[in-house]
Amino acid sequence: MKLYDTAIVGGGIAGYTAALTSKNLLLDYIWFGEEGFGDKLRLAEKITNFPTVTGDGADFAKRLNAQMGSEKIALTPKRIDGIYRTGDNFTLSHGGELYLARTVILATGVEAGGRIRGEKEFLGKGVSYCAVCDGALYRGKTVAAVVSSPKFEAEVQYLAQFAKNVFFIPLYRGSALSGGNIAAVEKRPVAVEGESRVERLVLEDGVLKTDGVFFLKNSVPPAALAFGLETEEGHVKVDRALKTNLAGLFAAGDVTGRPYQYAKAAGEGCVAAHSVRAYLREFLRK
Ligand SMILES: Cc1cc2nc3c(=O)[nH]c(=O)nc-3n(C[C@H](O)[C@H](O)[C@H](O)COP(=O)(O)OP(=O)(O)OC[C@H]3O[C@@H](n4cnc5c(N)ncnc54)[C@H](O)[C@@H]3O)c2cc1C
């Protein structure tokens, strides 16, 4: 398996700047994320606080896309579902595919709305953030899928191949997904409950009996992605060099905390790539 200098996780402005800086520093990088720089950039109405950008998010994305082409920045359009330390390096997984890197830059953004009661406590005991990783565990069982964006509906259909029943709970309007063993439930979830494992999803109005709950959203809590990562009030704890408590793992952008702004995210993407280079120089000297 190829060993990269760094794996950048997150396709927004922080991840992009980390990739651009990595390229300029001659680091052998792999950059994971969705194409188009993410909703938070693409859907902004008007941008007045980023150098040279005066239009909307779509215009900003167009400029970044043009630069990505001219600078030959490569994006691997995949979601990473786990980051594990393996010896001196990190293994990153996407479904069954594995990638190996000496360092990681986490630039996964933050999810508005945070977590509901029980979501954290039952992680790995019926709560999951990845249908393709854990869906097969629910063969013949009942699962609930709390879904933040239409782009995750394919994952709900994936779950339906294994589960007997799927409660589909979209947190947005206008979905037509239902039928067969998928039942759409348009009520907000408020808590996950059970004894030692998930048994119920409590809604604002009612309760669903379920064996598992999948939260399918843009940014999963960072500590759920990288085991042992220290966080504080939902943000990754970093120092000024954007080092985390895990040697070789850096974080940049909204994931490290406020202010949630493009300029701060872009600056941190740049700093994180420089910190990777400094870390690798030190590491390779040993
Ligand atoms: C509607 C709106 C308007 C805004 N307007 C402004 C503005 O005018 N000015 C301003 O300064 N700020 C604005 N902001 C805030 C700004 O969008 C954020 O501060 C900025 O996008 C943060 O960049 P980021 O790269 O850290 O995270 P994000 O932009 O959230 O990007 C993270 C990306 O990583 C992807 N990702 C997450 N997990 C994974 C994974 N496991 N594997 C692969 N990819 C993953 C996500 O899907 C996402 O595409 C606005 C925000 C919103 C919502």
Q: Is the pLDDT of residue 43 over 90?
A: no
156 Rama class: left (phi>0) / alpha (psi -120 to 50) / beta: alpha
Q: Is the pLDDT of residue 283 over 90?
A: no
Nearest CA to ligand 1 atom 21: 40
Task: State the alpha helices, DSSP H only, in the chain.
Answer: 13-24, 39-42, 57-70, 131-134, 153-162, 222-225, 262-285
C-alpha radius of gyration, the chain, whole number: 19
Residues with CB under 6 A from ligand 1: 9-15, 32-34, 38, 40-41, 43-44, 47, 49-50, 79-80, 107-109, 218-219, 225, 253-254, 260-263, 265
Q: Is the pLDDT of residue 220 over 70?
A: yes
Whether residue 107 is found in the same domain as residue 246: yes
Whether residue 212 is found in the same domain as residue 223: no
Residue-level pLDDT at 114:
74
Distance 39 CA to ligand 1 centre (A): 7
Q: What is the reported pTM?
A: 0.89
Q: Structural domain tally of the chain?
A: 2
Across the range 77-84, mean pLDDT stands at 94
Whether residue 92 is found in the same domain as residue 76: yes
- Final residue before a domain boundary, out of 190, 216, 242: 216
- Final residue before a domain boundary, out of 191, 216, 241: 216
- Final residue before a domain boundary, out of 186, 216, 246: 216
Give the closest residue to 279 by CA, choosing from 103, 107, 106. 103
Across the range 46-74, mean pLDDT stands at 95
Q: What is the CATH number of the domain that holds 193?
A: 3.50.50.60
Whether residue 142 is found in the same domain as residue 51: no
Residue 137 lies in a domain: yes
- At 221-240, the pLDDT tens digits run 898 899 899 999 889 999 99
For residue 200, give its domain range: 127-216
Whether residue 151 is found in the same domain as residue 211: yes
Judged by DSSP in three states, 178 sits in coil
Whether residue 211 is found in the same domain as residue 138: yes
